[in-house]
């Protein structure tokens, strides 16, 4: 864990990180990616796993980083979900609660205004909603 390094006829001790890897070695390791399917951070204010592991190495002493949870990013999966179109009879407001069936797991109910001719996104789960009459405008933007 400690190495002796000669510095101008004096002996200095250089400390290796608690994970046993230097920062360049860590950056080449795929374990420091945010998720297996995403390399960059989710938001600008979030620190990368590489910086956290380097800065707070003492938290990772005797921890096998391969065994730490690394969930897949759901952003890619949500972007593949089609836009949910509401007919004229359903009104101008979509209701999203994130509930998938009878599991009773989701998020608080959100009312989304669909007056604009764009797909509006739920702030909790990222599902997109639009009015059926704006479908040609929205589908035209994608291609």
Predicted confidence (pLDDT) per residue in 47-56, tens digit: 888 888 888 8
What element of type H or E holds 42?
none
Predicted confidence (pLDDT) per residue in 66-84, tens digit: 787 777 777 778 888 899 9
Q: What is the pLDDT of residue 15?
A: 46
- Would you list the domain boundaries of the chain? 2-67, 81-142
Q: Which two tokens stand for residue 142?
A: 């994608």
In whole angstroms, what is the distance from residue 142 CA to residue 126 CA?
17
| CATH for the stretch 81-142 | 2.60.260
The pTM score is 0.56
Question: What mean pLDDT is predicted for residues 126-142?
Answer: 87
Q: What is the pLDDT of residue 7?
A: 52
CB atoms within 10 A of CB 38: 14
In whole angstroms, what is the distance from residue 41 CA to residue 68 CA?
17
Q: Is 9 left (phi over 0), alpha (psi -120 to 50) or beta?
A: left
Q: What is the pLDDT of residue 142?
A: 60
């Amino acid at each position: 864990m400690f190495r002796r390094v000669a510095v101008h006829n004096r002996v200095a001790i250089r400390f290796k990180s608690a994970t046993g890897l230097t920062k360049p070695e860590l950056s080449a390791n795929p374990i420091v990616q945010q998720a297996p399917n995403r390399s960059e951070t989710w938001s600008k204010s979030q620190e990368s796993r590489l910086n956290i592991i380097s800065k707070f190495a003492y938290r990772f002493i005797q921890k096998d980083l391969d065994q730490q949870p690394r969930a897949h990013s759901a952003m890619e999966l949500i972007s593949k979900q089609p836009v949910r179109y509401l007919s004229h009879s359903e009104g101008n407001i979509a209701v999203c609660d994130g509930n998938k069936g009878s599991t009773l797991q989701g998020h608080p109910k959100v009312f989304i205004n669909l007056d604009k001719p764009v797909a509006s996104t739920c702030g909790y789960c990222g599902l997109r909603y639009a009015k059926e009459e704006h479908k040609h405008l929205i589908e035209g933007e994608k291609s």
